[in-house]
Amino acid sequence: TMEHEDIPELIDEEHTNNCVNGAKFSDDDDDDDFSDVDEEMEMEPVQCLFCKLDLSNVEAGIEHLKLAHKIDFHRLKSKFQMEQYSFIKLINCIRSEDVPAEKFITAEIPFWNDEKYLKPKEYEAWLSYDYDEMPAESEEPNESKSETNLTSEINALKEKVKEKELLLEQAREDMAKMRQSFQRLLDKESAPVVCTKNGKVLPLNSVAGVSAEADSGYFSSYAHFGIHHEMLSDEVRTTSYRDALLLNKSYVSDKDVLDVGCGTSVLSIFASQAGAKSVVGVDNSDIIYNAMDIVKRNNIDNVSLVKGRLEDTKLPQEKFDIIISEWMGYFLLFEGMLDSVIYARDTHLREGGIVLPNRCTMSIVGYGSEALYKNQVTFWDDVYGLDMSNMRKEVMHEPLIDIVDAEHILTEPNLIADLNIENVDLNYSNFSYEFNLKCTKSGEISAFVGYFDTFFDLPVPVMFSTSPNSKPTHWKQVVFFLEQKQIVSVGDCVKGNIICRRSRSSARSLDITIDSFGNKCTYYLD
């Protein structure tokens, strides 16, 4: 619900002259700038993380750590599924706590994976290293490998190349970010890997790092009445929240409640009806002016509404017993509003308080509807007699948001993520899961379908599901189509891997990669 002023605007990569924060760059200028910067970056020295030895650059430092201290960052990446933030936390943990190398060698859990280690003691070149580009640990070359194994490795490399090609559309945006970061280095400024908000250290790519101006479009979308009509008309959603409060009046009674992203204030009013002592609703959308009138018309005297971004707004009171929010998006995490709930929890929740809902899970199933696949994918093969099959490749990367028929579910579900909202951190959207879907029907799998479940663990528990087997909601389901349909039989197990990452280009968007049936595809939920 906020953006950092340093994050560049999106770039239209089809234009030869690109504008970044008002400055135009030609391709030739880019090449010259990056050549100069790369040379300087390669020469920037670093000090070993465990001894006083100075190394010529980060790459030399990594090699020294492996040879002298037995610390292999390739192995750590593979063992703990580390990414950029984890690497930064590890570096800062070593510098802050003076951790010996032996502790990392014998570690079974990533003990450095704490938000406090996002704040560096001081800038050093280690923090600018692109750890995401480092390959995870792999097998050492073996001259005795069979021709079949070599062929398999070649095919795997081809798949990696294919995936890289699909990511080229993000290259311009990434280059713009790098250009700004490198320019700060040239100006002898510290390149920020984190931002601060009200004294708190936050990851640069969180919603908190988004400037108010850049994030205005998100809030403007919630100023329209249609979206609130859709949400209020969703009986599953609205009655679940109402029941969680009204069926637990003894729990809510005399409590102070904060409603994050209150919209029309319906949840604030439910909390008041449940006996809350006071309720504060906050929303940065203009719909809040209508909400103020709704509260007045219904003679609710203990609800106060505040317009503004939570992270930038002073509330009538500082602490609350209950934080409630309807923050969920498509595939649960789209829109990144959970960032604001986490901020509210860490800033405004009293000790012993609760966040509602307090738990959410994400699941996927194998799906096979010939009609849906034909309507959405093979449709492009013959459009009024025209061959538009080139569109299929692009369509594959856009998940379909739709209500699917449970009749065509072919597998048991797998729960791929379980989020405890009372302790989850801002890295929640970055995870991977090795799925194993047991087939309950024979047929052709044409897609994987994702959905989520939501839980209010109260004295009278309440939950709802967005599963295809449950009553439809406005969240529907998310359909990830396969490039080629796959025949399965009862008892078969569909194995694969799903990786979810917060988008580099937008803190509110997701990049989801699914690797199964020997094919890998990245889907962009934005």
| pLDDT 10s digits, 12-71 | 444 434 433 333 444 444 444 444 544 455 468 889 999 988 888 888 889 999 998 999
Distances in Å between the alpha carbon of 105 and those of 4, 102, 282?
A: 36, 5, 47
Q: How far is CA 311 from CA 2, 334, 346, 429, 503, in A?
A: 8, 19, 11, 20, 21
Q: Round to whole Å and give the CA distance between 278 and 254.
A: 8
Flag the least confident range among 78-87, 345-354, 491-500, 508-517.
78-87
* pLDDT over threshold 90, residue 11: no
**Is 217's pLDDT higher than 80?**
no
User: Can you name the residues that pair with 231 across neighbouring β-strands?
Assistant: none
Q: Please state, in angstroms and rounded to a whole number, the distance separating the CA atoms of residues 500 and 331.
A: 10
pLDDT for the residue numbered 127: 83
Q: What is the pLDDT of residue 142?
A: 47
Answer yes or no: is pLDDT of 6 > 70. Answer: no
How many Å apart are CA 322 and CA 356, to the nearest integer?
7
Mean pLDDT of all residues belonging to the chain:
83
Return the pLDDT at 269.
Answer: 97
Q: Determine which of 7-11, 54-58, 120-124, 335-339 has the lowest per-residue pLDDT on average.
A: 7-11
Query: So what's the pLDDT on residue 169?
Result: 57
- DSSP characters over 432-491: EEEEEEEBSS-EEEEEEEEEEEEEE-SSS-EEEE-STTS---TT-EEEEEEEEEEEE-TT
Catalytic residue positions, numbered: 326, 335
pLDDT of residue 38: 44
Report which of 135, 78, 79, 87 is spatially closest to residue 108, judged by C-alpha positions: 79
User: What pLDDT sits at residue 26?
Assistant: 42
Domains of the chain: 46-127 (no CATH), 209-326 (3.40.50.150), 359-525 (2.70.160.11)
